[in-house]
Amino acid sequence: MSNSTLSRSRSIAVLAALAGLLAACGNSPPPADVADSPTNPVDPVDPNVELCSGTEINPERLFLQQVGADRAIIKWRGNVDGGDEASDVCFGTHMNALPASSLTAANVTETEHREALLTGLTPDTTYYYSVGGAASALQTRHFRTAPVTGESPADGNVRMWVLGDSGTAGSTIDPEGGDARDVRDGYLTWAASNGGEPTDLILMLGDAAYLDGTDAQFQSAVFETYPDILSSAGLWSTIGNHEMGVSGLSTATSTGLYLPAQGQRDPLPASPMPYLNIHTLPTQGENGGEPSNTEQYYSFDYGNVHVVSLDSQVAIRDSGNNETMKQWLINDLSASSNDWTLVIFHHPPYTKGSHDSDSAVLGIDQPIFDIREQYTEIFEDHGVDLAYSGHSHSYERSFYLNGHTGLEASFDPNVHAEHDGAGNPLTGQDDQEYRQISNNSGVDDKVVYTVAGSSGQATSTSDGYPHNAMAYSEIVLGSVVIDATATTLTARFINIDGDVLDFFVINR
């Protein structure tokens, strides 16, 4: 059976679930008893309030950036109907009554993106918006602001959807067994079958658009693959090797050296690198965290979760920039007091998938060594709970680790992993759930490292697979769902059928 036939069959199988599923994953308004609950009061519509009077536009790409407790950016480009592009948005807490006073003009970037910055928003509140400034919002156009920093949302849980190396949809790559669209459907199927909780954050681990991270490749692999989710949940990302062009083989130390093997660089005066022109990422701590002064790496708070995105592709290759990023990371982690801390970057410190963490491959994979030898100690010394990367097209989830900075052969579960006292590493499941304060050391000094690079293709293994530091490894398509409450963090790996293949729990 061909890949296209497989994909069509799965789509038919999940069609019934998808109808209610869009609501489940933040793609239609929450029910009235949620939107109007005491924890999220919504005032009745004032009939005397003047409403917006524009016309709704359907952009070719539409996504949310920097969704925080009191601000959000709505970003778009193009018009699928071929007319004029929208120049403004209206927003409000009632889907069918967007007040004229909310009309917000968009800035136009060098690459013709429109971005509207909404400010003065109320934390933990659902807002609806119209691209074009109409009086009513489409069902898919809404988002929920973050809770106040340090607090859990009204529903008690922050849900994060993690995608690594997802950029196969619409590309020249035709992976066997499905692609990113099947991974998307698997997540949506699982979500609809498990309470229908909306997605709060989308975390992309790099290689989001094959093969060269061009603007056109981002269009097909990202914006045409996840349109409804992108219009209702904030998108956060990190730089992968394919974001730098050269079919993923770049060892350049500057984003100005972006060079696609096929396709075009973005025009001056914009950055030549499409990733930096597409995203509007925080540089001055706009969403919490320490100012980084660059979009290549940054951090933000979402309620009781602190997220850090590092640049393991470009900044890490320049000694001066790398030292600056390390010191910034130490300052940022030292300043955070949130319940949970998550770090994302592209190159995994431990893997035996399609890349090998014991091999630098003529410098192309040198960042794997740099992360392991220079950064893991920082993570473990400063309270990081989870570290997610891609690069290898596999799912590999480690034990609860500390101090493993060498090659695979040096891994010793008695020394490097949380264990039962007899040298048997704990799995993080059932009666072996992890504790943030380690039972072995008595301090918060361990991290679960996960390679989640199979969201677009699941390919091959390296000699020695699976890596000895891994609690679970499988070469299979899927994505990760992380749920963070005030006391418990649960991570699950979901395959294209919506089944949970692996999970672990950390308790505070």
Each residue's pLDDT tens digit, 115-165: 999 999 999 999 999 999 999 999 999 999 999 999 999 999 999 999 999
Q: What is the pLDDT of residue 189?
A: 98
> Is there a contact between 467 and 474 (Cβ–Cβ < 8 Å)?
no
Structure tokens at 63: 């996504």
Residues 6+ apart with CB under 8 A from 216: 263
CA angle 485, 205, 411 (to 5 degrees): 85
Alpha-carbon gap, residue 349 to 358, rounded angstroms: 9
Q: What is the pLDDT of residue 176?
A: 78
The burial class, CB within 10 Å (0-12 / 13-18 / 19+), for 111 is middle
Alpha-carbon gap, residue 385 to 342, rounded angstroms: 6
Q: List the one residue out of 90, 107, 86 whose CA is nearest residue 98.
A: 90
Q: Where are the beta strands (DSSP E) in 214-253?
A: 234-237
Structure tokens at 221: 């692999």
Q: Please report, as a single letter, which amino acid is at residue 460.
A: S
> Is there a contact between 401 and 449 (Cβ–Cβ < 8 Å)?
yes
Residue pLDDT, tens place only, 212-263: 999 999 999 999 999 999 999 999 999 999 999 999 999 999 999 999 998 8
Q: List the one residue out of 65, 64, 61 whose CA is nearest residue 282.
A: 65
Q: Is the pTM of this model over 0.75?
A: yes
Higher pLDDT, 86 or 29: 86
Q: List the one residue out of 148, 143, 244 whose CA is nearest residue 200.
A: 143
**Range with lowest mean pLDDT among 25-39, 144-158, 244-258, 480-494:** 25-39
> Is there a contact between 169 and 393 (Cβ–Cβ < 8 Å)?
no
Q: List the one residue out of 375, 363, 362, 348 whose CA is nearest residue 454.
A: 348
> What are phi and psi for residue 336, nearest 5 degrees?
-90, 140
Question: Dihedral through CA 463, CA 466, CA 468, CA 470, nearest 10?
Answer: 150
pLDDT tier, 192 (very low <50, low <70, confident <90, very high otherwise):
very high
> Is there a contact between 204 and 237 (Cβ–Cβ < 8 Å)?
yes
Q: Please report, as a single letter, which amino acid is at residue 412.
A: D
Q: What is the pLDDT of residue 42?
A: 53
> Is there a contact between 135 and 425 (Cβ–Cβ < 8 Å)?
no
Average pLDDT value over all residues in the chain: 92
**Range with lowest mean pLDDT among 263-272, 300-309, 341-350, 463-472:** 263-272
Q: Which residues of 315-347 are buried (b: 16+ CB within 10 A; e: fewer)?
A: bbbeeebbebbbebbeebbeebebbbbbbbbbb
Count other C-beta atoms under 10 Å from residue 101's C-beta. Answer: 11
* Residue 20 confidence (pLDDT) above 80: no
* pLDDT above 90 as % of the chain: 88
Place of tokens 């790398």: 322
Count other C-beta atoms under 10 Å from residue 428's C-beta. Answer: 23
Q: What is the pLDDT of residue 47?
A: 84
pLDDT tier, 508 (very low <50, low <70, confident <90, very high otherwise):
very high
CA 102 to each of CA 6, 88, 107, 471: distance values in angstroms, whole numbers, following the listed order: 46, 10, 16, 50
> Strand 470-474 and strand 447-452: pairing?
unpaired
Which residues are 492's β-sheet partners? 481, 503
Q: What is the pLDDT of residue 34?
A: 30
Higher pLDDT, 282 or 11: 282
